[in-house]
Amino acid sequence: MKHGVPRATGRRAVATDLDGRGDPLFRASERFSLDERSPVPLYHQVEQIILDRIAKAGEIGLKVPREMDLIKIFNVSRATVKKATDSLAAKGLIERNRSAGTRIVRLNVTEDLGRLTSFSEQMQSRNLRASTEILGVELHMPEAAVAEALRLSKTEKTLCIRRLRGTSEAFPVVLLRSEIPAAFGIDPREDFHTSLYDIIETKYRIPIEWADQKIWAGQATAAEAKLLRIKPGDTVLGMERITYTRSDRPLEYVKAIYRPEHYTFSMRLKR
């Protein structure tokens, strides 16, 4: 088995819920083989499998098996199961209730603001497949604000990549516009259906070091609404990010407009 999140083994039983009440997220007969040699902790492997099932089930209110049943399904300790479910509860995806049990209360994707990751990497970490629609790729003269953010002269061009992205379960989730200084030499003929960060770092050997990012709530313009398949004026989440390579050189400007029902930003704060 490859290191990472494992796949399920065994067949789903045609049976009732584990405790006989309602539809379950997992069936009683399901068993998963975790990879103990993987650098990914067992609790995180359990969490990712549950996240994947939540995304595929796509139904709020679906029951999550009891702790003792999850121990059997994943063949792990109670501490491992508790750590996985505590993480899911902290993200607001599941809710515990002594009388009603544990149920799914949200389906959307959450981005950890403490880490610099691409959309593809975020989806991969949740065992989801990213879907992409290319809206346009061109070398052009950027807007003045973008040129200033990227520290470009008035004559320097950027490679502008416009994409709609989502998953096999929800599409579209986000409208993305990425602008990279033409001087970096990224070929406009690249396959931008895949991870842009992977292309930059793996193929072009350009390290991504850090980023400045801001997030806001706003209303969708007519053009944004049409692409995101919502109504003009609907609430959206906006994000602007400048990523930097070595020597604090600006590498990419990206503007993202998210459908808020499918996306959440999270951050762990310490005092």
Domains plus CATH for the chain? 8-104 (1.10.10.10), 109-266 (3.40.1410.10)
Mean pLDDT of the chain: 81
Q: Region 198-223: what's the mean pLDDT? A: 91
Task: Give residue-wise pLDDT tens across range 3-22.
Answer: 444 444 433 332 333 333 44
* Residue 39 clears pLDDT 90, i.e. is over it: no
* Strand ranges in the chain using DSSP code E only, listed in sequence order: 8-9, 31-32, 63-64, 94-97, 101-104, 109-112, 130-140, 158-167, 174-181, 210-219, 235-245, 249-258, 263-266
Rg of the Cα atoms in the chain: 21
Task: Give residue-wise pLDDT tens across range 151-196.
Answer: 999 999 999 999 999 876 678 889 999 999 999 999 999 999 988 9
* pLDDT (0 to 100) of residue 90: 73
Residue 108 binned pLDDT confidence (cut-offs 50, 70, 90): low
